[in-house]
Structure 1
Amino acid sequence: MNRWGLVGLMALAACAPENTLYTEAQGGACPGVTAGALTDEARALTAPSLPLDDGREPFIIRYRDDGVSAASRVRQFGGQVTATFRSVPAVAARLSSREREALAKDPSVESIEPDQVWHSLGAATAPALSFASAAARGRIPGGYAGGLRQVQANEVWDLDEDGQPDPGRPTGAGTRVCIIDSGLDMEHPSLRQAVVASWDFLDGDTNTSDGVLGAWGSGHGTHVAGIVAARPGAPIKGMETGSLVGVAPGTELVIARVLDLNGRTQMSIVLAALEYCSAKKAKVASLSLGGGFASKTTLEAFQAAYDSGMLVVAASGNDGGQVVSYPASDPSVLAVGAVDDQGRRADFSSGGHELALVAPGVDVLSLFPRGLGGRSEVLELDANETQLMSRPLQYSPAGTKVAPLVDCGAGDSLESCKDSTCSGFIAYVRPGFLPIEQVMVNVMKQGAQAVIIGNEVVEGGLEIFSLPRRGRWVPAVTINQAGGTMLDRVLGYNVRVHVEPTDYTHMSGTSMSTPYVVGVAALLFSAHPSATPAQVREALVSTARDLGPVGHDEGYGHGMVQARRALESLSYLP
């Protein structure tokens, strides 16, 4: 992908919640403190968002004559063609109001519809209810993540349970999966050998790295790709032993970068990526994005992808309601919702009658751009050096701080840290209704060198929080309710906060559930290369483990995808 030069001078790159606005933090209670969002100068160096602000608007122009010479005819009217399609009689173009009016009068034009803005279904906030004791100590053992066992993937290719795929078992080998997302860390050791084709639909080149020079993007695509295809045996920074393993660790990946650094894209770009995936012989496509609505063009495009032999799997959405996001709700697409490690529907998981399946989507462990993940330790130095269960905030900077612990309440004002000092302290906060980034700004302005966020989640869990992707921050972690009780007893004493960069992270969302189903589908295609999307789809839904009310329901669809059972149901195929 193209580079935007001075972006490499920016501070930590990480993923901001979409459309987040937060106060520029310069100065404050302590002189010379800079905290929070980028300055105007740095913000100006970020990659442009979609759509461009050039006075034109993006549209899809459909033609009655099957799109013959459509692109040249649009250009004759002055339009800027951005994509042409093989599967639908249409082109995408940027038009001025005058050009649109002229095209609308052309008798060969069937319709002109908006080129919708779609977006990533970013990480959701959800409790990590069963944080393992190893993780509580700040170390993650390598091997099978819990979700992999929930979907029975290891029961397909590791019958002897030695932690390695068995020879001759279906692993996804020979099957291509297309990840239509934000790109990924192309040099991640667990994915380096998996990618066989790639295209950046934003920059028009083969470099599908998620980010710009010196600054990573969201990490969304790397996390998704890791769930599908992480290779066993690759060392991962921060892992005590071994490595993470994907659902289909032999799968070949086709990478289509469609999301910009703000997690946005246009419908036409996704449709072009679908055609690219099909041309590259992908059997399954992963779409952890949405936010649009069905149109004649999208319905035809997804049907064409299905008819070409590719099963498209998409995230149901993170709104928590009973409306499945589009394109997951498209009749040619398999919609996937999220459950936790107990098989309970995640609060954020969108449901509805179009929901087909659910898969693990809460606190999912997977790969992340190298060094952008994190593990953390919180140590009570003055209380027998007790180590508390903690989790770094998503995109927290690394670092080690030792300083007195100060109660900052909800962190809702510049006077919230009553015993603060500009010489430095560690802030302990229990956020209320303010965004986490504003709480961080408030306590940093008062001199906080690190932040510990208390958590009200019961059952020993941790809430997953995220910092904005770019800005000036200090190391920040969250602790569980029991840890907060212990901290209440050592206010004023020194504590140690340590955040260490890793090549993995935990995320929640239907974006994480989708690649589990994608990986299972890849296993079925790997075992039965002649299978059709219809046969694989039927195997997936008919063998799912029923959850919630008996039969199909709007919260769980047909239930939890089950790899071994689905594979057994296709035993009649060669």
Structure 2
Amino acid sequence: MNIILALIALAARPDCPPVTAADVARTLALETPAISSTEQRLSRPAASSFTARIPGRFTAGFVPGRLDETLSWLAAQGAEVLRADTAAGFVVCNLPDPVGLALAEAPLPAGVRWLEPDSRTRAAHLPNDPYFLTEQWDKWVMYADRAWDLNRGNTNIAVVICDNGVEYTHPDLGDRFTPGSYGYDFVSNDNDPAPDNILVPEAFHGTHVAGITAATMDNARGIAGWAGIRLLAARVLNDSGSGTLSNLASAIHWAADQGARVVNMSLGSDDYSTPVAEAARYAAQRNVLLVAAAGNAGRATAQYPARLPEVICVGATDRPGGLADYSNFGGDQELVAPGSGIRSCWTGAGYGIASGTSMAAPQVAGVAALVLSAYPTLSTNRLRAVLAASAIDMGPEGWDARFGHGLVNAYRALTLAERMSAGPDAAASAPFRPAAIVTGVWRAPDWAERVEIYDLSGRGGTVTGREFSLAVGTWFVRLTAPGRTELLRLRAVR
């Protein structure tokens, strides 16, 4: 199949709108907000850090109506003007690198908005892995090609796959493991987390999940995973996919102690588990992002551990873009990702197709790892908010019980993370209403199906009930219902 036919064969994908100030504000609202009164503005990177810059080529922005002044200033610096885009408000010019790079970091005349290197652009990255163009529709609808133009991974970021073992010798996974440090088998209590018997029909599961997250890219083999990170396997299920919540709890705690930044759990139970809940809290306090499958019963209640507040609950979409008929949903649904007909790694050094929320969760874990690869200092709270705020809304406007915040979009997540890592001024940009004065008890409006309350330190979360006694101070409230979201500031006084 030639590249044109291959591209035609890919699934249609939703529009990918640019990240805006509204997305930044939404991130701040979704994050446990700690709002600063100090103005912080986004800044461009240093001119010398532009890795794809064209030597001797620069752009200069000009203030409307001051093009002539800008041209005169450039001429005085020895620049050769190539063209002026009056609609966009900038000039392209040739300028010796030592001069241009120095001027770019120096104070500029009043009429010049910026001076920075001009850089090369190229077609969106399409890896040479043979299944990418023809079968990896999941990566396509999540804009992996554009995301990979920005970042492709960082082996300093560790992701733990809690599952029924991973075939770490698989040719598309071997490079993602550190030799001699593959993880831990909590079923057999040894250091070999591979499946015991790959002939068991369900033994492929953990290997398939791992491939979605991190199969080696650009090796002319098989598939492309989301990110070139470091994998660790925590085997908590037997080859048939059965295990205990206590083993899962141990694995989550172990993953946090191993320095993991992301833990994927494509598994679940209808039962709540205190050990798992405490392990999830332990991991979250250590800056570990926890991701879990919503479940495959097609019901309006997710399974555990996806229902825990520290865990991102992920539902599955099908190729047409709807919620898969098998996917659980409900009040804990946070994000959705492709889960139907997903091609990935298979035990026995092969490749196969599987469906389920088990396939959707590692998509989210992989995108999270990709974002952390570029911005490793992001907190878990902020990363979680970035993933939600950058998602493409698939149902009624705002959060809804079927799609949560929407379909994860890798390109928008990376772009938004870049803005958030620069520390925008939340007080100036967040669309909270002016502070309302509260004395005594505050009552949430009847229309709100979910109420989240946070203090200035970001402590808080979803609360139950309608009436709340607030301590003296400032509080931030997020009210949500299908098709409606409102953000409030409350000032509680005596």
TM-score calculated relative to the size of structure 1: 0.48
Distance 1:217 1:324, change over 3 A: closer
Query: Structure 1 residue aligned with 2:141, among 140, 143, 150?
Result: 150
Q: How does 1:343-492 map to 2 (within 5 A)?
A: 343-370=321-348
Tell me, in whole angstroms, the C-alpha distance in 2 between the residues paired with 1:152 and 1:304: 33
Residue 217 (structure 1) shift: 5.3
Distance 1:213 1:267, change over 3 A: closer
Query: Structure 1 residue aligned with 2:191, among 200, 206, 211?
Result: 206
Distance 1:566 1:292, change over 3 A: same
- Please give the secondary structure, in 2, of the residue aligned with 1:523: helix
Deviates more, 1:294-303 or 1:506-515: 294-303
Q: By percentage of residues, which structure has more helix?
A: 2
- Please give the secondary structure, in 2, of the residue aligned with 1:262: coil
Cα deviations by residue, 1:297-328 (Å, 9 ceiling, x for unpaired): 43322111111110000000000010011110
Residue 261 (structure 1) shift: 2.4
Tell me, in whole angstroms, the C-alpha distance in 1 between the residues paired with 2:297 and 2:198: 33
1:418 aligns with: none
Tell me, in whole angstroms, the C-alpha distance in 2 between the residues paired with 1:180 and 1:258: 6
Counterpart amino acid of 2:301?
V
Residue 141 (structure 1) shift: 4.2
Q: Do 2:248 and 2:276's aligned partners in 1 also have CA atoms closer than 8 Å?
A: no
Counterpart amino acid of 2:132?
G
Query: Structure 2 residue aligned with 1:284, among 262, 272, 282?
Result: 262
TM-score calculated relative to the size of structure 2: 0.56
Q: Do 1:254 and 1:280's aligned partners in 2 also have CA atoms closer than 8 Å?
A: no
- Please give the secondary structure, in 1, of the residue aligned with 2:352: strand
Cα deviations by residue, 1:238-279 (Å, 9 ceiling, x for unpaired): xxxx4310011x110011011012311111100110111111
Tell me, in whole angstroms, the C-alpha distance in 2 between the residues paired with 1:303 and 1:348: 29
Asked if residue 554 in structure 1 is aligned to residue 401 in structure 2, the reply is yes
Q: How does 1:256-335 map to 2 (within 5 A)?
A: 256-335=234-313
Tell me, in whole angstroms, the C-alpha distance in 2 between the residues paired with 1:326 and 1:301: 13
Query: Structure 1 residue aligned with 2:163, among 169, 174, 181?
Result: 181
2:205 aligns with: 220
Q: How many residues align?
A: 288
Q: Do 2:335 and 2:403's aligned partners in 1 also have CA atoms closer than 8 Å?
A: yes
Counterpart amino acid of 2:280?
F
Tell me, in whole angstroms, the C-alpha distance in 1 between the residues paired with 2:212 and 2:333: 21
Query: Structure 2 residue aligned with 1:338, among 311, 316, 319?
Result: 316
Cα deviations by residue, 1:473-517 (Å, 9 ceiling, x for unpaired): xxxxxxxxxxxxxxxxxxxxxxxxxxxxxx111100000000000
Counterpart amino acid of 2:324?
A
Q: Do 1:314 and 1:327's aligned partners in 2 also have CA atoms closer than 8 Å?
A: yes
Unmatched segments (≥5 aa) in structure 1: 1-139, 160-168, 236-241, 372-502
Cα deviations by residue, 1:152-188 (Å, 9 ceiling, x for unpaired): 22212236xxxxxxxxx34243211000001122211
Asked if residue 246 in structure 1 is aligned to residue 218 in structure 2, the reply is no
Tell me, in whole angstroms, the C-alpha distance in 1 between the residues paired with 2:253 and 2:244: 15
- Please give the secondary structure, in 2, of the residue aligned with 1:142: helix
Residue 296 (structure 1) shift: 3.9
Q: Do 1:340 and 1:362's aligned partners in 2 also have CA atoms closer than 8 Å?
A: yes
Tell me, in whole angstroms, the C-alpha distance in 2 between the residues paired with 1:366 and 1:285: 19
Distance 1:200 1:191, change over 3 A: same
Distance 1:280 1:149, change over 3 A: same
Asked if residue 526 in structure 1 is aligned to residue 369 in structure 2, the reply is no
1:378 aligns with: none
Residue 233 (structure 1) shift: 4.1
- Please give the secondary structure, in 1, of the residue aligned with 2:203: coil
Tell me, in whole angstroms, the C-alpha distance in 2 between the residues paired with 1:367 and 1:220: 9
1:573 aligns with: 421
- Please give the secondary structure, in 1, of the residue aligned with 2:131: coil
Q: Do 1:233 and 1:243's aligned partners in 2 also have CA atoms closer than 8 Å?
A: no
Distance 1:213 1:523, change over 3 A: closer
Tell me, in whole angstroms, the C-alpha distance in 2 between the residues paired with 1:223 and 1:284: 17
Tell me, in whole angstroms, the C-alpha distance in 2 between the residues paired with 1:191 and 1:141: 16
TM-align CA RMSD: 1.9
Distance 1:277 1:339, change over 3 A: same
Counterpart amino acid of 1:573?
S
Tell me, in whole angstroms, the C-alpha distance in 1 between the residues paired with 2:414 and 2:149: 14
Percent identity of equivalent pairs: 36
Distance 1:170 1:142, change over 3 A: closer
Question: Which has the higher relative contact order, 1 or 2, with Cα contacts under 8 A spaced 6 or more apart?
Answer: 1
Residue 215 (structure 1) shift: 5.9
Q: Do 2:245 and 2:273's aligned partners in 1 also have CA atoms closer than 8 Å?
A: no
Cα deviations by residue, 1:451-472 (Å, 9 ceiling, x for unpaired): xxxxxxxxxxxxxxxxxxxxxx
Distance 1:217 1:346, change over 3 A: closer
Unmatched segments (≥5 aa) in structure 2: 1-128, 423-494
